[in-house]
A and B are shown apart, each in its own frame.
Chain A
């Protein structure tokens, strides 16, 4: 049991890292806040100065703004659904004893080793390209018209790419949870006459619930900031069809050099991310307290 002294010592020793982490977070956030109230365009430095909330108003009234919020949410929710459901199914599958299990497992998790821009390039040019992509070849083989993924269904295309990247993560975490399930419990349920579906619903799924929570929370954080896949494949288009919030902020900051508006967008993104995180924690985070 820790004494008063050891507790004080621990606090004292932790203090530098806590301070460092705070500074690490506070300085960029403070600068973003500061710039969000400034008219600052480095390319046209005539109008510099404090402008109140006009950057927020401009960002808010941008025709791409609402669309980008919607796209961000659609992306997060769709990818979560695909990866959690797909992850559970895959975990169940590769948990079965089978020949070449090790190789199958490596194959399943391999997309996770690919960098997002590389994955996006491969999907764009080799798989989904309407002229020489694999999907187009398959469509033509069956006499169908190839799908113009990035022109006609840009969000679907991005969701597929991002889900492909995150499915291994979900599978891996869920498989670990699955493997920690006591074999005797399964056997007992089986002897009591519970079928596969009953066993899954009443035994396996509750056992995996904490792992599912972890997957949802971690993925939500990363999915809110998806950017590389959009930059590489659709550039946010056509129109604003695949612009999400991080991409809109990037556009404002580094294509238009409207630092004030981009900072306002950044602050809005932080607030929205916190709202989403709050609800996610309320909805699923309770599992973690058990």
Chain B
């Protein structure tokens, strides 16, 4: 009995000592495939860092955004590492809510991060979040339907060509829609697409003095073109289609073309998930010859909130998850095609990756074609390609998204939607103190 008590006592004492020594960090992340894979591979990290324990909070994108935003804004301190996007980073860094990532290690090679992505995650030259995967948007199209229509997709198509091709590919009797585009309201849904598209039409959200620009002809052209194109060649119920809905439509062979995130390429070319895997071609997002293409730029990234007491451990983890070593780890376990894309130049120079991912070059070209610091034809006071990096944008973007989605559904006219958008934007900017 005595011996047992003694052993138990010793055991609990050593457990306590270990607990005091080990540090546990809480990581909030999104439930996308790449992040779920990261969780499975963390043994590699914990083996090398036995004194750090990892707690995961994995959430659906919208819920994650609500939780981490609430946590950081109210200084809740629940998370030591947060998964955030290019929208949040510049705003949060300016509020001093994030720690600059300057201890990522000697072999981290921050210069290898694709410049456009690094630019979107830096403020005053300092990196405030490390990209886990990056994306732009491009055209995914059915090579067989294109051929049947007697057309050839150029590497860099214009919007007129897209319209012409969509008209010819549409075959409603056989359930084929010429083009599938986002219509579901939300700043990260239809407005991501429409804002990027509007850049190529010469439109902008605000002029240099933050005056909303929805009353300008460029926006009218953008929205009218989009609504006409979707009415003629888009799928039924397009106003409720977001990324996932369009992905399902394309995978089932119901879309001739789909302009959306480059990460979708690995899903549409996966024979297990896509009926048209062997028939997909890729092209840059369309333009109008004005010098800007209609593609966006996004990176899901890992950041360390300023409130954490475990900054060192958190940064160690961020360094591991976004390193070259991690890419090699994924490649060795799951194949090169599954390595998180869009963050490091070295990945695109890798012959094995190029072979495994036929969309690699077009992805890189698309990312490089986006410039978050000069997103529009005319000058603007904001940063961000498919968003405006100000705190008011996620509310305003969603409101405008609702109005444009109503125009697509035919519940209001293009002119009405634009007028209401102008009113909503003017009210929001006045309330935020940007204009009087």
Chain A positions near chain B (C-beta within 8 angstroms) = 41-47, 58, 63, 124, 129-132, 136, 146, 148-152, 233-241, 251-252, 254-258
Contacts and interface: CB of A to CB of B under 8 A. Distances in A.
A207 B162 CA distance: 66
Given A131-B175, A152-B409, A43 B69 contact: yes
B237 A150 contact: yes
A254 B403 CA distance: 19
B338 interface: no
30 contacts: A41-B391, A42-B74, A46-B433, A47-B433, A63-B420, A129-B237, A130-B235, A130-B237, A131-B175, A131-B237, A131-B254, A136-B236, A149-B237, A151-B238, A151-B408, A152-B409, A152-B411, A235-B185, A235-B186, A236-B185, A236-B402, A237-B402, A239-B403, A239-B405, A239-B412, A241-B411, A254-B70, A256-B396, A257-B73, A257-B395
Contacts of B423: 63
A239 B395 CA distance: 14
Contacts of A58: 431
Given A42-B73, A258-B395, A239 B402 contact: yes
Nearest to A146: B236
Contacts of B147: none
Contact of A148 (B249, B409, B417): B409
Interface in B351-399: 391-392, 394-396, 398
Interface of B: 66, 69-70, 73-74, 91, 95, 175, 184-186, 235-240, 249, 252, 254, 391-392, 394-396, 398, 402-403, 405-406, 408-412, 417, 420, 423-424, 431-433
Contact of A150 (B240, B391, B392): B240
Contacts of A63: 420, 423-424
Given A42-B70, A150-B239, A151-B238, A237 B391 contact: no
A248 to B, nearest CB: 11
A238 B237 contact: no
A129 B91 CA distance: 38
Contact of A43 (B91, B240, B408, B420): B91
A237 to B, nearest CB: 5
A145 B342 CA distance: 42
Nearest to A132: B252
A238 B395 contact: no
B409 A43 contact: no
Given A41-B391, A44-B392, A238 B74 contact: no
Contacts of B420: 63
Nearest to B252: A132
Contacts of B406: 237-241
Contacts of B410: 151-152
A41 B432 CA distance: 10
Contacts of B405: 237-239
Contacts of A151: 237-240, 408-411
B229 to A, nearest CB: 16
B29 to A, nearest CB: 19
Contacts of A42: 69-70, 73-74
Given A149-B237, A236-B185, 19 more contacts: A42-B70, A58-B431, A130-B236, A131-B175, A131-B249, A146-B236, A148-B409, A151-B237, A151-B410, A152-B409, A152-B411, A235-B402, A238-B185, A239-B402, A239-B409, A239-B412, A240-B402, A241-B411, A256-B394
Contact of A131 (B235, B392, B409, B411): B235
Contacts of B70: 42, 254
Nearest to B394: A255
Contacts of B395: 251-252, 255-258
Nearest to B412: A239
Nearest to A58: B431
A235 B184 contact: yes
A226 B375 CA distance: 40
A275 B20 CA distance: 57
A134 B405 CA distance: 24
Contacts of A148: 236-237, 239, 409
B408 A238 contact: yes
Contacts of B238: 151
A251 B175 CA distance: 35
A265 to B, nearest CB: 14
Contact of A234 (B236, B240, B424, B433): B240
Nearest to A157: B240
Contacts of A43: 69, 73, 91, 391
A72 B303 CA distance: 40
Nearest to A258: B395
Nearest to A42: B73
A251 B398 contact: yes
A152 B237 CA distance: 8
A140 to B, nearest CB: 9
Contacts of B95: 45
A218 to B, nearest CB: 29
Contacts of A124: 240
A226 B185 CA distance: 20
A131 B405 CA distance: 18
Contacts of B74: 42
A237 B69 contact: no
A55 to B, nearest CB: 11
A131 B402 contact: no
Contacts of B412: 239
A130 B391 CA distance: 36
A41 B249 CA distance: 39
Nearest to A234: B240
A43 B406 CA distance: 28
A44 B237 contact: no
A105 B68 CA distance: 45
A152 B38 CA distance: 41
B398 A256 contact: yes
